[in-house]
Amino acid sequence: MILKPMVRNNICINAHPMGCRAEVRLQTGRVKAFRDRLTNFDKNGRGTPKPTHVLVIGCSTGYGLASRLVAAFGYGADTVGFSYEKEPSSTKPGTPGWYFNHEFDALAAEAGLFARTFSDIDAFSHAAKDKAIELARERGFQYDLIIYSLASPVRTDPETGTLYRSVIKPIGRQYAGRTLDVFTGKIAEATVQPATEEEIAQTIKVMGGEDWQLWIDALDKAGVLGRDAITLAYSYLGPPFSWPIYRDGTIGQAKLHLEKTAQALNEHYQDAKGLRAFVSINKAVVTRASAVIPVIPLYISTLFKVMKERNIHEDCVDQMIRLFAERIYRKGETQIPVDTEGRIRVDDLEMGPSVQNEVSARLAMVDESNLHTLADPDGFRNDFLRAHGFEVPGVDYEQEVLSFE
């Protein structure tokens, strides 16, 4: 069968097995090419702090996958990853992350790195924490870097069995903004009704810090949280015009809860265990999660155009290379630079005033007739397709896909 992407409303419902594998190999190649810079040109890693046993919760796609690639192929770390992906059947491809995970494991094995990947255990469950603990005990290591990179629409509370749902909605009043279908080039007005109190609470339950804290507590209790470990959870701030739907909306409340959780973890563990917990504010990138947020595709397309023109464009891999090499593992430095709120910032290039002023000016003018001049919808579309294994350079898409494995 010849596989073509099946996309509707910025959601792609299939994936290309060979393309997904090729995409991970390309990303790995980029990380390897930066390896010298990552270890600050110190081949032995002397004087450069580095991760050795890394747990990535949400490891299969987007920022989690990029973090794992950098930890493994940049720093030579052993990695354990959790994700929730669908395996292929005889008639249907699996989800992209399923293929990304498999290729990651194959590449890690080739490189002689220990890697264990769970594609089908709910990271919110006790079972996931037990697995991570069991593995560390079996192999006699402790985790020194724990990355929390989940993006999920639902969470089952492991104690009560209650299912909670997250929503992306404004709070207090309705939100109207323009949204872009990057496949048709159509710009439409989208309105989103304000969230109820119940929806706000449920979104915090799913995307807030409760589960992050449960992970750290479980690892510590089991004795597999390393001394002086670092833990990171990812967040986004974005430009003021997106705040009603993002930062000041339901998801922003959940992200605020993550920040409070980082503080709580630091208060509880820093003195006794040396643990440092941070929220890292990353830049806007195209991932399966970000494509469905109203207004974000038009903003990201415009942002990409401006950042590419200035040669400062970054994707997930570029961001994670910078996060590791220039924030958390700096040569001769134990101090991690943070903003006044204690957050790591790698969204600095996106949020710089010059970039933001230019993006705002273009957004005020952009319509369907000048979309390709002022913005980069093709760049968005390409990143989005590549996240599903399509349009990956070097892959022959006219070749029959004989198996979805």
Ligand X SMILES: NC(=O)c1ccc[n+]([C@@H]2O[C@H](COP(=O)([O-])OP(=O)(O)OC[C@H]3O[C@@H](n4cnc5c(N)ncnc54)[C@H](O)[C@@H]3O)[C@@H](O)[C@H]2O)c1
Binding mask 3-42 for ligand X (x = CB under 6 A): ----------------------------------------
Q: Which amino acid is at 296?
A: I
What CA–CA distance (Å, rounded) separates 73 from 68?
8
Q: Which is nearer to ligand X, 162 or 373 (CB)?
A: 162
Which C-beta is closer to ligand X: that of 123 or that of 262?
A: 123
- Residue 186: count of CB within 10 angstroms of its CB: 11
Is 388 a binder of ligand X (CB under 6 A)?
no
Contacting residue, 18, 86, 87, 122, with ligand X by CB under 6 A: 122
Q: Which residue, 39 or 79, has its beta carbon nearer to ligand X? A: 79
**What's the CA gap between 9 and 183, in Å, rounded?**
8
3-state DSSP assignment of residue 385 = helix
Q: Which residues contact 331 (CB under 8 A, 6 or more apart)?
A: 40, 42, 47, 48
Q: 362: part of which helix (H) or strand (E)?
A: helix 353-365
CB of 44 to ligand X, least distance (A): 32
Residue 149 found at the interface with ligand X (CB under 6 A):
yes
Stretch that binds ligand X, among 68-76, 120-128, 267-275, 361-369 (CB under 6 A): 120-128
DSSP structure class, residue 121: S
Among 175, 234, 299, 304, binds ligand X (CB under 6 A): 234
Query: Given 3-state DSSP classes, what are the helix, strand and coil percentages for the chain, each rounded to the nearest 5?
Result: 45, 15, 40
Examine residue 252 and tell whether it contacts ligand X (CB under 6 A). no
State the minimum distance, in angstroms, from the CB of residue 162 to ligand X: 15
Which pair of tokens denotes residue 390?
């399509």
Q: Which CB, 10 or 149, lies closer to ligand X?
A: 149
Residue 236 binds ligand X (CB under 6 A)? yes
| 94: contact with ligand X by CB under 6 A | no
Segment 274 to 293, residues that bind ligand X, using CB under 6 A: 282, 284-285, 287-290
**Alpha helix positions (H), 230-352:** 250-273, 296-309, 316-323, 348-351
Cβ-proximal residue to ligand X, closest one: 62
Candidate residues 123, 182, 192, 366; the one interacting with ligand X per rule CB under 6 A: 123
Assign residue 330 a region (left: φ > 0; alpha: ψ between -120 and 50; beta: otherwise).
beta
Q: Which residues are catalytic?
A: 246
| Closer residue to ligand X (CB): 39 or 149 | 149
Q: Which of 7, 107, 151, 195 binds ligand X (CB under 6 A)?
A: 151
Question: 261 vs 290, which CB is nearer to ligand X?
Answer: 290
Written as one letter, the residue type at 261 is T
- Cα–Cα distance, 90 to 288 (Å, whole number): 24
What distance in Å separates the CA atoms of residue 100 and residue 396, rounded to the nearest whole number?
18
Question: Is the torsion defined by CA of 182, 186, 187, 188 positive or negative?
Answer: negative
CA distance from start to end of the chain: 14
The DSSP secondary-structure symbol of 158 reads: T
Cβ proximity of 355 and 71 under 8 Å: no
Query: Whose structure tokens read 């942002």?
Result: 303
Our finding on whether 304 is near ligand X (CB under 6 A) is no
Stretch 43-82: interaction string toward ligand X, x if CB under 6 A: ---------------xxxxxxx-----------------x
Q: How far is the CB of 376 from ligand X (least distance, A)?
A: 15
Map residues 176-215 to x or -, x wherever contact with ligand X holds by CB under 6 A. Answer: ----------------------------------------
* Chain residues in the site for ligand X (CB under 6 A): 58-64, 82-85, 97, 122-124, 149-152, 234-236, 282, 284-285, 287-290
